[in-house]
Amino acid sequence: MKRIGVLTSGGDAPGMNAAIRAVVRTAIAENMEIYGIERGYEGMINGEIRRMDISSVGDIIHRGGTILKTARSERFVTPEGFQRGLDMIENFGLEGLVVIGGDGSLTGGLELSRAGVPVMGLPGTIDNDLAYTDFTIGFDTSVNTVLNAIGNIRDTSSSHERTTVVEVMGRNCGDIALYAGLAGGAETVLIPEVEADISSICKKIIIGKNRGKVHSLIVRAEGVKMTSQELAKVLEERTGIETKVVVLGYVQRGGSPTARDRMLASQVGYRAVQLLKEDSSSRAIGISGNRIIDIDLEQALKMQRIADTSLIRLAEILS
């Protein structure tokens, strides 16, 4: 294989740039031509494809976001849009593709692979919701960003003796809430995978207050059925303690990637190019038990994610 492409798609994640850098530099080291496709599948359809060289990825390993830009393409899921994308791959003579993104982006890659394009999927999402890998690129940075925010919220929450509901991202996956809540010492962590018990949350807040606690922090994943506002209202009514809501939002998707995310991105990016060089069929690349792994892309996307019950139990015991 001589000429390959790389794209980022879906919600951006810190560490995507480090992954692009690894793909570009490994490809060049292997004497391959590497093309960057801008704005994900949308840019593929539009032919926004350019040759990349060593210096095009200089000074980006520490930068959040993605230099290739990203998009959620609605056109790519139509037969016409998909065909246009395929035509562009052919026009530019791309013999393989590295797709960096979450579930939807890798599913787009799977469709391309069914149409004959070898695709390597890299897990780029803050959500940590891909079953085949222990961690996704961006998750660790996002958890640390939430952790910093929790520290600030704790200060003001203590001064005013309030309860604060901190809403974090993650779609239907509770990992950002679980990890940040555990590491941040939150009183309660609410995740979509476990039904919330309002009475026991209220009881915990009251017991805490009775033993001298001056604040309570509830970390709620956005996928939990009851909204943060509804939750705050019910907690305030049933505990008599003023309760505020902080929605962290997109702050969780930016920022300089942690060492862990940079390492993961560099390692999976390298493996992706090696696999394309070996003319491998389409694979999903990730990390399992601290080892870089690759598995059949279709199989990877069929896997069902199971929440880590030991962490859920730990969060309950420690809170």
Interacting residues toward ligand F6P by CB under 6 A: 11, 72, 102, 125-127, 169-171, 222, 253
CB of 123 to ligand F6P, least distance (A): 11
Of the candidates 203, 244, 199, 246, the one whose C-alpha atom is nearest the C-alpha of residue 222 is: 246
CB 37 within 8 A of CB 46: no
Q: Please indicate whether residue 261 is annotated as part of the active site.
A: no
Closest to ligand F6P by CB, 96 vs 181, is 181
Q: Are 110 and 297 in contact (CB under 8 A)?
A: yes
Q: Could you tell me the smallest distance in angstroms from the CB atom of residue 189 to ligand F6P?
A: 16
CB of 318 to ligand F6P, least distance (A): 25
Which residue in the list 12, 103, 127, 129 is annotated as catalytic?
127
Closest CA to 98 of 59, 40, 54, 57: 40
Q: Which is nearer to ligand F6P, 127 or 261 (CB)?
A: 127
Tokens of 169: 């991202």
- Dihedral of alpha carbons 135, 176, 174, 70, sign: negative
Minimum CB separation of residue 174 from ligand F6P in Å reads 11
Minimum distance of ligand F6P from residue 162's CB (angstroms): 26
Nearer to ligand F6P, 57 or 169 (CB): 169
* Closer of 14 and 102 to ligand F6P (Cβ): 102
Q: For ligand F6P, give the closer residue by CB, 96 or 123.
A: 123
**Positions marked active-site:** 127
